[in-house]
Structure 1
Amino acid sequence: MKIVVIGGTGLIGSGVVRRLTEAGHEAVAAAPSTGVNTLTGEGLKEVLQDANVLVDVSNSPSFADDDVMSFFTTSTGNLTEAAREAGVGHYVALSIIGIDRSPEIGYYRAKVAQESAIRAAGLPHTILRATQFFEFAGAIADSSMVDGAVRLPGVGVQPIAAVDVSTAVAGAAAGDPANGIVEIAGPQSHTLDEWVRRVLAYRGDRRQVITDPNALFYGGVPGQTVLLPGPDARLARTSLDEWLAAQH
């Protein structure tokens, strides 16, 4: 199959392209650097010619509330229209577990809008919702700095390795449309503060992580189970210990 991966040069996308290619598919990495711009529509018609599947793992260059909402609504509108015109038979999008339970987080509101646009387009689709990536621990710490320390709530989280996300997205792209949401998560649950504390300590980062039930997570205070997967989630293999051991 010809599978076009929007965001195919990024952390997840490059892994998706590699796995699909190894499986014998014609995987095409599409990004602004390859002449495909989902905001302007540039290159979409050409790259989607004869494509069987479109995979969207793209991300907004700015996480400001208005910018990220504009990115996902504009980009998804252009992608669904181009996919319909090209006769694409399966639209796969990567999303995030918990987005519909934290409306105070601007990025999550934008992802909800993206999912809604995909469903409204009427295309055969699979929305793959993942938990937080192990790779995001440092960025979460950076965004949670208050008075020289990292402040995070002790809410549940079940992070997943980016390599496992890429594998799951590639598997979804090569399979039949679910026409709904599929959840993927890491094999073990932690608390948000504990997870970030362990990653920072392993890296030799001396910042203190303070457990604060009122601390913000990207602008919102998540409930105890907001970031956790449901009972039917597909669990990946890589544990936090295994991921840390591979970070040399």
Structure 2
Amino acid sequence: MDRPSGTTPSPPPDDASGALAMTLHVVVAPVFGTNCTVVSAPSGDCVVVDPGAGTADDVAAHVASAGLVPRAVLATHGHVDHTWDAAALADRFDVPVVLHVADAYRLADPFGSLEHGSPTGDRGERSLVSGPLGAALAAAGARPGDYREPARVETFDLAAGEDGALRWGDVVLHAVGAPGHTEGSTLYLVGEPGAGLVLSGDVLFTGSVGRTDLPGGDGAMMARTLRDVVGRLDPAWDVLPGHGPATTVARELATNPFLAG
């Protein structure tokens, strides 16, 4: 769960594919500006990545108008601003919700898993759920009690830096373990060498990186992910973060203060 300071959600041009065989359609969630992406193959098979609160209807409308066939709902990690509408879309399309096994527990307890707790045993939900997250949900006409846990969840298990090809129908993505923001944070790579895009979730932003101060975050692990995973990505690739504007690997390697030098 993150939103880099000083940025305004601004995804790349809608339905832009460039040299990719896959087509991308981005819906920006009204809560925390999460970039929800529909990745579709020429055949019409598609997956939905990071459906934040308030994206379900727009995603469903795009799927219908484009004649797409959803195969799965994916999450780059388990924070609720990336999974709020996962159950609604999975039920509507009769598909599984898929994420790294280390983050699957967050789907059952999305708010408690965001709270460090206090010495008195109180999880301290007022600090976040009744604070910025609660306010953002309320502004979008939602409440924490409206959240639904997905009924059908599938997981994969990748070590940090490990790359695994995942296929749903004709949609093929490469998932790369990138822990640090959460235990199971994952990069999804779309395309081929020299002509690809990274769905970076809350690992990498334009000019910033994901926070590590929430439960499951690990600053040392994030540093290793940035060095050994992000630092070895193809510089030619584009990046669509979980929040904020698109960027490129080359630009971030050269200018991002958490990566440069």
More strand by share: 2
Report TM bin, short chain: 0.3 to 0.5
Which TM-score applies when normalising by structure 1? 0.32
More helix by share: 1
Higher-Rg member (1/2)? 1
Which TM-score applies when normalising by structure 2? 0.31
